[in-house]
Amino acid sequence: MPLDLTDPRELAAVAAAFDLGRPVGGARPLPNGGNPSVSRLLTTERGSWLVKTEHLVVGEWQLRRAERVHRLQSAALAAGVTMPQPVEPPAPAVGYWHRHADADLVRVTEWLDGDDLRSGPGGTADAVAWVGSTLARIARLDIEADDEAVPTLQTMPDWHSWVTEAEAGGHDVARPAGALLPAVEEATALILAAERDGPRRLLAHGDTSRANVLRTPAGYALIDWDGGNGVVPWWEAVSVAFRFATPFNGPAAEADAGVVRPLLDAYLAGGGPGGAADATAFAGMLRDQLAVTAWSLWLALGHRRATAEQRAFGLRMVTAAEREMPRTLRSLDRWTALLT
């Protein structure tokens, strides 16, 4: 059975396993950008904690990802990147995760009081500069990414098969997914051309967005490291710069001159590796957009044991991608002017 943090007994067991002290009340679910929440705020007699669970599917690839994220996050902590402090998990553990009852994964971090940048202006000069310099600091860790750390670029036969599945099953997602196929094909071609020479990839946070930058009384902090993956650092910086004007890393991007250039300037000034100032610089952003759209399509189709709530979220995201991705592709030539 999946771990149920609404059950006081299971909540107390998790608190005891991580030595957090006795729970005071229940654990409050936290908002997750319209996606069903996997995180809860737990208050105990010793403090407040963020408890996160993973139970859609726990396979070997997820365990290897947890180990990879641990390697990146622990190095970033040692380098002084500001983030909530992870709580070391009890055995059996993988990375910062505890294997609960030999099934679900659960991890705990200290709670930081503050607001993410969705609740206010994300383009303030100090926030943008902090993000750019933090991306550079993570890139300077210079942790090589193996092939498995790079998110899979789905093939066009994959996309066509999902659309066929949606149509055959009478799913509402069939129409927007089918309409999206020409943009997916164009984006995939650009990515493959940009990657032809095998650019060097490093481990990075992988989901730096207004939703994951916290404004606290002590300054800014980067939260939610579980999306850590292999990126081309310059492409990652460009992706963050153009998506930071949006609330979170969904299918949308915006050329906000008050964000893009200052963020990239701070990144380069901080020693982040640069790159070409042409359409290939957007290969990472397009990869990110395709990855979130593919994942959303899987959810909308009911893959990975998706709940009704998750399926509805997936449909909303694919519908947004149908609108946003063609607009992004039409804008690339104009957006390159902001890269220099």
Task: Determine if the pTM surpasses 0.85.
Answer: yes
CA distances (Å), 76 to each of 18, 67, 139, 329, in order? 22, 14, 10, 33
**8-111: CATH number:** 3.30.200.20
Structural domain spans, the chain: 8-111, 118-339
CB contact at 8 A, 135 and 271: no
Question: Which residues is 48 bridged to in the sheet?
Answer: 43
Alpha-carbon gap, residue 188 to 1, rounded angstroms: 39
Reduced to 3 states, what is the DSSP secondary structure of residue 51?
strand
Alpha helices in the chain (DSSP H): 8-17, 60-78, 125-139, 156-168, 174-194, 233-243, 257-269, 283-300, 308-335
Cα four-point dihedral sign 45, 46, 50, 53: negative
Asked if domains 8-111 and 118-339 share a fold, the reply is: no
Structure tokens at 169: 């099953």
Per-residue pLDDT of the chain (340 residues; tens, 9 = 90+): 567 888 889 899 999 999 999 999 888 988 766 666 678 999 999 999 999 987 655 678 778 889 999 999 999 999 999 999 999 999 999 999 998 775 688 999 999 999 988 876 556 889 999 999 999 999 999 999 999 999 899 999 999 999 999 999 999 999 999 999 999 999 999 999 999 999 999 999 999 999 899 999 999 999 999 999 999 999 999 999 999 888 777 788 889 888 999 999 999 999 999 999 999 999 999 999 999 999 999 999 999 778 899 999 999 999 999 999 999 999 999 999 999 8
Domain 118-339 has CATH 3.40.50.2300: no
